[in-house]
């Protein structure tokens, strides 16, 4: 069975500093995708970044980067130069089993990030 684990229920970071949100995953598939979504208080899920299991380089999107360590099965999100607007819930997710062909997302329990001014 596939599983995503986020061990940090809540985190604080000072504005303009960098923060790392942890994510570990478990799968027996060789091909999979890892995603990070942001959910502000408005409730909408906003896609941030994607990492494919065969990608050799860590994904980056603006201030977001994904620290992908395949052997350790971790996919931590790094947010550089935190802004007040980064305060939100962050979810790590994995695309479902290649064999069931549904590509449903399996989500972790989330990390609530609060950026302090």
Q: Which residues bind other proteins (CB under 8 A)?
A: 31, 33, 35, 37, 42-47, 50, 52, 91, 93, 95-96, 100-110
- 3-class secondary-structure state, position 109: coil
Shortest distance, CB of residue 69 to other proteins, whole angstroms? 21
Report yes or no: 20 and 74 within 8 Å, Cβ to Cβ.
Answer: no
Nearest distance in Å: CB 65, other proteins: 17
Cα 88 off chain centre by: 13
As a whole number of angstroms, the distance between CA 29 and CA 98 comes to 7
Tell me whether residue 19 or residue 95 sits nearer to other proteins (CB atom).
95
Name the residue nearer to other proteins (CB basis): 21 or 95: 95
- CB-CB contact of 49 with 23 (8 Å): no
Contacts of 100 (CB under 8 A, 6+ apart): none
At closest approach, how far in Å is the CB of 62 from other proteins? 16
Q: Give 12 or 47: the residue with its C-beta nearer to other proteins.
A: 47
Q: Which CB atom, from 82 or from 92, has the smaller least distance to other proteins?
A: 92
């Amino acid at each position: 069975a596939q599983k995503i684990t986020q061990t940090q229920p809540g985190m604080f970071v000072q504005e303009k500093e960098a923060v790392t949100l942890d994510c570990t995953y478990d799968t027996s598939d060789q091909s999979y995708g890892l995603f990070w979504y942001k959910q502000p208080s408005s409730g909408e899920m906003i896609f941030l970044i994607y990492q494919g299991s065969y990608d050799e380089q860590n994904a980056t999107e603006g201030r977001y980067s994904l620290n992908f360590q395949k052997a350790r099965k971790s996919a931590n999100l790094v947010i550089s130069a935190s802004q007040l607007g980064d305060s939100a819930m962050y979810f790590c997710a994995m695309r479902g089993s290649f064999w069931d062909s549904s590509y449903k997302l399996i989500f972790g329990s989330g990390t609530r990030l609060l950026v302090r001014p």
